[in-house]
Structure 1
């Protein structure tokens, strides 16, 4: 095994059969154990730390910083781009989750855990929860840079922002579990993950408005999984109706909280549809054991 220490610790975290611990407390204990182990493994792996945490932060500094004196749709262009990179952080978390699930499957960790009392939902809740904690840390770093350096205001609707962030993270987490079923090995995981990263980064409005793309690409781009997330994150942060802005367009009108939610509703429904589709795909494709042949 290439991850003997992690494998042994994960299996050791499973409760013995026949315990008298209440089901709910047992589930929480299992999920907590998976969370702590996944958290430690993430920060010990330099590759996962770079891709999953540093990459969006560094890219944002390179791309957004030169835009801090410009505006787009009435808001600071650097802050506009920073919110896009918060959305991209969800995709880099997808890459690490995909790598992690495939590696644990190939090392037979998942198979061993399935033979214990650890619920399947607790196995993934812990791993996905650790990835979510990393994303929240990235939001604090990117948001702090945006507010403290670029002069961006605080989010206009924090509740909507957190809801969209949670929905977007769930979407890419479930998608990672689903696509692990068609990923033959941990070595092949980048071949599956990299196209997703590139398409989402350059086709979902992370760096530039979708209106700057050729007309025939704009409609497909709007239905990519990250596009409604980025659009709604910007609406929640700046309190304006983003989605069809352009570099040379007039400033967007400010929205109150109610109209902000109404504007974000179609994007929220699209995110929910993507989550449902990824869940169905996961049920069909996910494997507990390594792929053969």
Structure 2
């Protein structure tokens, strides 16, 4: 417990915002379904029929499950977008900005709660991949954590930036749905980008989720993912250093997207409703 006689510090404020965002998330059935259960249910529906099949030299069901681990970043984005816009429209953000609470602590607490939900999803989906779909344990856990952390930061910043373009809570589906559909069908989640039409592959590789999914699969399976297709041969295995070298272009693309998202957040983020 916090000593009431001690002046509050930045971690105290961020912790309080974390607890508030955490409680609000789990009390809202809609956010719980979309923000937590949706990737798991979609994975069970899509990956289960693929048991016993191979893609790129690995179990196709486990390959798809790793795609839905990446897709959990999109549901974290939707969770954050909904939460930020709702708090802004209810004037919560405006009131907080008028207090001694640092603005960065407000966002850090909300980002932290979304990150904790994502961690639970990753653990659940990872357990499904290993225990139900017979995936091996991750070849390079450190690279997997780096990719997931970088991907979460990117999608959290995108949520903060796009919240500034969202007129109100009723309009969040109009912003979130295109991101969800593009990520689901062109981000390499359920089907490899190499199986898309030739004219669509280059734009698909440039989407923000694609480098996360490809680098995550490389880190988990130790293979050179990125050019695989359903009809292609098994991908070559990689050594520990080679996995980082192969994932480097994906990490650079993530860094570029993150820098752009940070710039957009600084420019677009609003603490007050448009009509305020």
TM-score range for the pair, normalised by the shorter chain length: over 0.9
Corresponding residue for residue 220 of structure 1: 203
- Counterpart among 241, 260, 267 of residue 277 in structure 1: 260
- SS of equivalent to 1:250: coil
How far apart, in 1, do the equivalents of 2:9 and 2:203 lie?
A: 45
1:128 aligns with 2:94: no
How do residues 138-153 of structure 1 correspond to structure 2 at under 5 angstroms?
A: 138-153=121-136
Q: C-alpha displacement at 1:20, in angstroms?
A: 6.6
Q: C-alpha displacement at 1:292, in angstroms?
A: 2.2
Q: Alpha-carbon deviations, 1:147-196, whole Å to 9, x = none?
A: 00111001100000000000001100000000000100001101100110
Q: Which runs of 5+ in 2 are unaligned?
A: none
- Counterpart among 229, 246, 250 of residue 267 in structure 1: 250
How do residues 54-73 of structure 1 correspond to structure 2 at under 5 angstroms?
A: 54-73=37-56
Corresponding residue for residue 254 of structure 1: 237
TM-score of the pair, normalised by structure 2: 0.97
How far apart, in 2, do the equivalents of 1:169 and 1:208 lie?
A: 22
Corresponding residue for residue 270 of structure 2: 287
Q: C-alpha displacement at 1:95, in angstroms?
A: 0.5
Corresponding residue for residue 159 of structure 1: 142
Q: C-alpha displacement at 1:259, in angstroms?
A: 0.5
TM-score of the pair, normalised by structure 1: 0.91
How far apart, in 1, do the equivalents of 2:47 and 2:267 lie?
A: 40
Q: C-alpha displacement at 1:253, in angstroms?
A: 1.0
How far apart, in 1, do the equivalents of 2:153 and 2:62 lie?
A: 24
- Counterpart among 63, 72, 79 of residue 89 in structure 1: 72
Corresponding residue for residue 49 of structure 1: 32
Q: Alpha-carbon deviations, 1:219-276, whole Å to 9, x = none?
A: 0000000000000000000001100001111111111110000000010010011011
How far apart, in 1, do the equivalents of 2:104 and 2:62 lie?
A: 37
Q: Which runs of 5+ in 1 are unaligned?
A: 1-15
Structure 1 runs, 4 residues or longer, greater than 3 Å off: none
How far apart, in 1, do the equivalents of 2:271 and 2:109 lie?
A: 17
How far apart, in 2, do the equivalents of 1:129 and 1:83 lie?
A: 22
Q: Alpha-carbon deviations, 1:88-129, whole Å to 9, x = none?
A: 100011001000000000111001110111111110111000
How far apart, in 1, do the equivalents of 2:106 and 2:224 lie?
A: 39
Q: How many residues align?
A: 273
1:229 aligns with 2:212: yes
